[in-house]
Structure 1
Amino acid sequence: MVTILVADDDINILKLLTIYLTEQGYKVLQAKDGSEALEVLKKSTCDLAVVDVMMPFMDGYVLTKEIRKQYDIPVILLTAKNQIEDKELGFQAGTDDYLVKPFEPKELSFRIKALLRRYDYPAAEPILRIGNTTINKMSYEVQIGNQTFLLPLKEFELLYFLMYNPKQVFSREHLIEQIWGLEFQGDERTVDVHIKRLRERFSKVTDDFQIKTVRGVGYSLEVQRT
């Protein structure tokens, strides 16, 4: 059963979401602030977190950053604000999605299902190996021979996704959805920038793989034959 952590200092929201999500077949764990939410995560395995921005002791932005440091689960931020600056803070903190109050519980359910699908791809195989290259989803490290690389989060996730699906061509739009999420406010050039950085990091280090541009379509990771 999928377990969802709901962190909100509004008791009514906690009750509403607990009832609704339980009816949807999820197990729900509650927290009334960010500090309590971290304690819940230490004791229980959760598959997704729904986090309110305005909470006492530790707000949703700080909590999201802490979750990102310690756990590989999707996060949805809930807020009463609808300013672009607040969304920017949320995505900088590492949230996967953003939902403005008031909202329909059904919309939250749609977003939860979409994020669980996105996060499902690495679950079965946390460590990938191609030639002398190893990419570890548990430690977020890339090792090539005796060299270890620590990448920025989105670069790592993009490389992992491409390596998990070698020889498949993905459009920029598809990569944005998979790596940055449906609520991403930037444009498709973000993908180009991250691909360029990955090429600069690894093109002179290994021949195990190459990220190729498929003109008019997108990108594909090609594996070197041995």
Structure 2
Amino acid sequence: MSGYKVLIVEDEQPMRELIASFLIEEHYEVVQAANGVEALQLFRREQPDVMVVDIMMPFMDGFELLEEIRKRSDIPFIFLSARGEELDKVKGLRLGADDYMVKPFHSGELIARIETVIRRAGGKQSSQTITSGGLILDLDYMEAKSAGRLVTLTRKEFRLLELLIKHENHTVTRSRMMELIWGPDYPGSERTVDTHMKTLRMKLPEESERIKTVRGVGYRLEAPK
């Protein structure tokens, strides 16, 4: 889902920046606050689409922040906290939180939960799409169509196809794909890209001939003739 703005409220800067990096990689716009008081000010000014909030913070904790937000808005609100006690979860949900995640967390689960609460809230009125020939990608809902057919892709397959379409007729190197989609610290080899590209071609038989291997370099999506 691109085009959405997330307000992250977390007093520990390394954790706040880590969450931000996950969201930016998925094309979210990110606003950051170090405490609840700052978050209220940013909420008024930035008008985010969803909030991801820690509980234990100075000046105003996450529960107090949620109470203040609910006086003003029904914005999707997710707690992301090290406090995993059942009473905390129940309190957060009863105060009006849409979801509650416990640290440590997996980035993919956080993204999925953000997507879910945005959809539940109705999302935006229109979605952003990119096209190439018979390929249509809905970037907000991460849906792919080929020749009018809905294609089931994994998140990384979708991101690979998005990258190829955005760089149509230009070669994207394996190393660049690894960096953008798997991250710079991924321990696997570039053969991972080849495996995913093979699967992508199998899932897109109508367009597979346009996906060219540039030997020793990477891949290129040729424009339709």
TM-score range, shorter chain: 0.5 to 0.7
2 CA distance for matches of 1:17 and 1:152? Answer: 27
Gap runs ≥5 in structure 1 = 73-124
8 Å CA contact 2:164, 2:220 repeated in 1: yes
Amino acid at match of 1:141: E
**Cα deviation code 1:35-56 (max 9, x no counterpart):** x69x78x7279xxx9x77x443
Amino acid at match of 2:171: V
Pick the aligned partner of 2:149 from 136, 139, 147. Answer: 147
Q: Using the TM superposition, give the Cα deviation of residue 145 of structure 1 relative to its aligned residue in structure 2, in angstroms.
A: 2.9
Matches within 5 A, 1:1-226: 4-7=7-10, 13=12, 27-28=32-33, 29=39, 31-33=53-55, 43=75, 54-56=82-84, 57=89, 58-60=101-103, 61=105, 65-71=109-115, 126-202=128-204, 204=205, 206-207=206-207, 210-225=210-225
- 1:223 is paired with a residue of what secondary structure? coil
Normalised by the length of structure 2, the TM-score is 0.54
- State the Cα RMSD in Å: 3.8
Gap runs ≥5 in structure 2 = 21-30, 34-38, 40-51, 57-61, 90-100, 117-126
Specify whether residues 149 and 27 from structure 1 end up closer, same or farther in structure 2 by C-alpha distance, changes over 3 A only. Answer: same
8 Å CA contact 1:142, 1:149 repeated in 2: yes
- 1:182 is paired with a residue of what secondary structure? coil
Q: Using the TM superposition, give the Cα deviation of residue 3 of structure 1 relative to its aligned residue in structure 2, in angstroms.
A: 5.8
Amino acid at match of 1:151: L
8 Å CA contact 2:214, 2:220 repeated in 1: yes
* Matched residue count: 151
- 2:151 is paired with a residue of what secondary structure? strand
- 2:176 is paired with a residue of what secondary structure? helix
Identity of counterpart residues, as a percentage? Answer: 25
Which has the higher mean CA deviation after the structures are superposed, 57-66 or 207-216? 57-66
Specify whether residues 55 and 194 from structure 1 end up closer, same or farther in structure 2 by C-alpha distance, changes over 3 A only. Answer: farther
Specify whether residues 172 and 164 from structure 1 end up closer, same or farther in structure 2 by C-alpha distance, changes over 3 A only. Answer: same
Specify whether residues 139 and 170 from structure 1 end up closer, same or farther in structure 2 by C-alpha distance, changes over 3 A only. Answer: same
Normalised by the length of structure 1, the TM-score is 0.54
Q: Using the TM superposition, give the Cα deviation of residue 160 of structure 1 relative to its aligned residue in structure 2, in angstroms.
A: 0.7
Partner of 2:45: none
8 Å CA contact 1:130, 1:208 repeated in 2: no
Specify whether residues 190 and 6 from structure 1 end up closer, same or farther in structure 2 by C-alpha distance, changes over 3 A only. Answer: farther
**Cα deviation code 1:113-161 (max 9, x no counterpart):** xxxxxxxxxxxx9311222221111121111233111211000011111
